Amino acid sequence: MTTDEFRAEMEIELAWRQEEIAFFKNQLNYVTEDKKGKYRKSLVLILYSHFEGYTKICLQTYIQYINSQNLDRRDVNFGLMVAGMNKEFLAYENLDRKCDIFRKELPEDAKLHRLFRRVDFMEELDNFMNQKLHIQDSLIDTESNLWYIVLQKNLYKIGLPVDIFNDVKNDINGLVNRRNSIAHGNFKSGIEEQEFDRWEQKVLEIMGELMRVLYDYAHNHRYLRNSEYEDD
């Protein structure tokens, strides 16, 4: 996958979501004035679903782009490196893995067997680093509630800065909270036009900024440990 193909996928994903949001919003023209507030509650649910869905798809597509670059693990930043070594870390953390030398006589010596796993990991480290990078896109998990902290967790998992959406932290949390209160039947009143328009503007800004950041990282090779590379 080239950087242009990566960007095109994100643009296509954004376009159909923008079109759908606009379509359902336009249906307000056929709703009587006294029912528009209630209808906008459903628009908030649609808006949130596109915010969460677009974020998840874009981050997974970014992983797919990284995987397509035929990189060694040692080439990439530590976040991506760790993301691509999940199997190795699970083996290291597996308390059932014990040193064969002492397994029979000292089966319950936890400190000794932890030392074995550490030694084994370090002995294999060069081999681990020289293997091709592959990250499972299932690593991305929006947890059905894309709170700001959940977004940060997902950015952190794949070596992206966690502060890029600091300015809209309250907006993200506010949208999730409003969506949940509507979805769970706890929000009785309608949504005013100004409130929905503000949510819509913020969501579209966030989705556009996410695309910009991901493309920047891909196009300028900022995922590499040494990111001072020439552009494509």
Closest-CA residue to 153 (of 223, 220, 65, 56): 56
Residue 229's pLDDT is 45
Residue 159: phi and psi, rounded to 5, are 70, 25
How would DSSP label each residue in 151-180?
A: HHHHHHHTT--TTTTGGGHHHHHHHHHHHH
**Alpha carbon distance 189, 185 (integer Å):** 10
Radius of gyration of the chain (CA): 23
The pLDDT tens digits along the chain (232 residues) read 999 999 999 999 999 999 999 999 999 999 898 889 999 999 999 999 999 999 999 999 999 999 999 999 899 998 999 899 888 777 767 777 777 777 777 777 788 777 877 777 777 778 787 889 999 989 999 999 999 999 999 999 999 999 999 999 999 999 999 999 998 887 778 889 999 999 999 999 999 999 999 999 999 999 998 765 434 4
Residue environment code for 196-218, b if the CB has 16+ CB neighbours within 10 A, otherwise e: beebbebbbebbeebbebbbebb
Give the model's pLDDT for residue 87.
Answer: 81
Instruction: Give pLDDT, residue 227.
Output: 62
Backbone φ, ψ for residue 8 (5° rounding): -60, -40
Question: How is the chain split among helix, strand and coil, in percent rounded to 5?
Answer: 70, 0, 30
Crossing angle of the two packed helices 193-219 and 169-183, in degrees rounded to 10: 130
- State how far Cα 226 lies from the chain centre: 23
Q: How far is CA 186 from CA 41, 171, 195, in A?
A: 12, 20, 17
224: three-class secondary structure by DSSP: strand
User: Roughly how many angstroms between the first and final C-alpha of the chain, as a whole number?
Assistant: 12
CB-neighbour burial class of residue 114 (10 A; exposed 0-12, middle 13-18, buried 19+):
middle
98 burial (CB, 10 Å; 0-12 / 13-18 / 19+) is: buried
Q: What is the pLDDT of residue 90?
A: 78
Determine if residue 180 is left, alpha or beta; phi over 0 gives left, psi from -120 to 50 gives alpha, anything else beta. Answer: alpha
